[in-house]
Structure 1
């Protein structure tokens, strides 16, 4: 069975989070639809993101939307970790540093016993990133 996995993040501010990722990793908005594009939506929801697709770090896709209810109130919801593997150490270090702006280092980006470079960072939105250079 073959399938494509695309991470989907429900955000407090999908536009700001998407801008952060596109700045940190390079990318562009591929699609954006607001609730205001659907008839009968309450005025307070019209500017909220219903669905946004962005391309980041080459050909990778990430989907985002503004949350309907606070994600903290969804009981039992686990954390999200995204993994990026880069062809060069310089690109991996840059992504690690960019994603860490306003967040925190979880595991320093260093040469590992298996011969590759690896590090973990939590971004300012609470998303964990595993950065690897093989």
Structure 2
């Protein structure tokens, strides 16, 4: 049976700024960034826009991004979930992601025995934070 590796790829109106926010909020590092300006014949207005960016967040979790030329409309139908082993790391991630964003579901111990919270970051991405 063949398999595939799945990665999250976010389209953004500010991929560079959004990636830097995630590095600050979750820890990690931008691994690769290329702009449209690196492609011959790119119009000046597009030269600084991100064609492809890859980063790692909260350890070695890959996340890819690019700038889009149309409005971005994230919705709650798709969320990014992070599961932590340590409650203080999970609490910190929740707090940092919610700075400038919106707390949808406060991070707290739930009746099913895990800590859980949901936040929409300042860029409109919904994150589900769990500590088992």
TM-score, scaled to structure 1: 0.92
Task: Give 1:4 deviation, angstroms.
Answer: 1.7
| Alignment: residue pair count | 130
Q: 2 CA distance for matches of 1:4 and 1:87?
A: 23
Task: Give 1:5 deviation, angstroms.
Answer: 1.5
- The unaligned stretches of length 5 or more in structure 2 are none
Contact 2:34 2:51 in 1 (8 A): yes
Q: 2 CA distance for matches of 1:5 and 1:78?
A: 20
Task: Give 1:78 deviation, angstroms.
Answer: 5.0
What is the alpha-carbon root mean square deviation over aligned residues?
A: 1.3
SS for the counterpart of 1:125 is: coil
Q: 2 CA distance for matches of 1:78 and 1:100?
A: 16
- The unaligned stretches of length 5 or more in structure 1 are none
**1:4 matched to which residue of 2?**
5
TM-score, scaled to structure 2: 0.93
Q: 2 CA distance for matches of 1:115 and 1:12?
A: 38
Structure 1 residues 26-78: Cα deviation after superposition (integer angstroms, max 9, x where no partner): 01110111001111110110111000000110010110111022235xxxx75
